[in-house]
Amino acid sequence: MRPVALVVTAVVLTAGAILAYVGFTGGDCAGATVHRSVAACTTSGMSAARCTALMAEADRRLLQSGPVFDMRQQCEDRYPSCQPAAGATGFVPRASGFCLRPGPPELVVPVFGRS
């Protein structure tokens, strides 16, 4: 029984270390500027049209792969704003911002959750 406990402990510690590393290094937005709104994006020098398109892309990415909740209220209990999910019955969070990871190709990463 002792070897099983050691293996389980090692797996849990490894998973915790990976989560801590991702959290402390900025996750998917490491090294990229997070824009919390179209207005914040335009102050960084990008055009309003480009910033609007990037925010729409962040929302589209969440529609495809965001966490899905059965009911809107369940989603809004965790996130400030939700939208109907694409291809599934339920609701996903709406992007509250995005970061643009330098490319090639550039990658829009949606930011969602309470800020």
Rounded to two decimals, the pTM is 0.67
Please name the residues in contact with 64: beta carbons below 8 A apart, sequence gap of 6 or more.
Answer: 86, 87
Question: What was the pLDDT predicted at 85?
Answer: 87
Token digits of residue 89 = 């019955």
Nearest to 97 by CA among 69, 49, 46, 62: 62
User: How confident is the chain (115 residues) per 10-residue block, as mean pLDDT?
Assistant: 69 54 53 88 93 93 88 92 84 90 83 71
Rounded CA-CA distance 102/11 in Å is 33
CA-wise closest residue to 109 among 69, 47, 59: 59
pLDDT of res. 43? 93
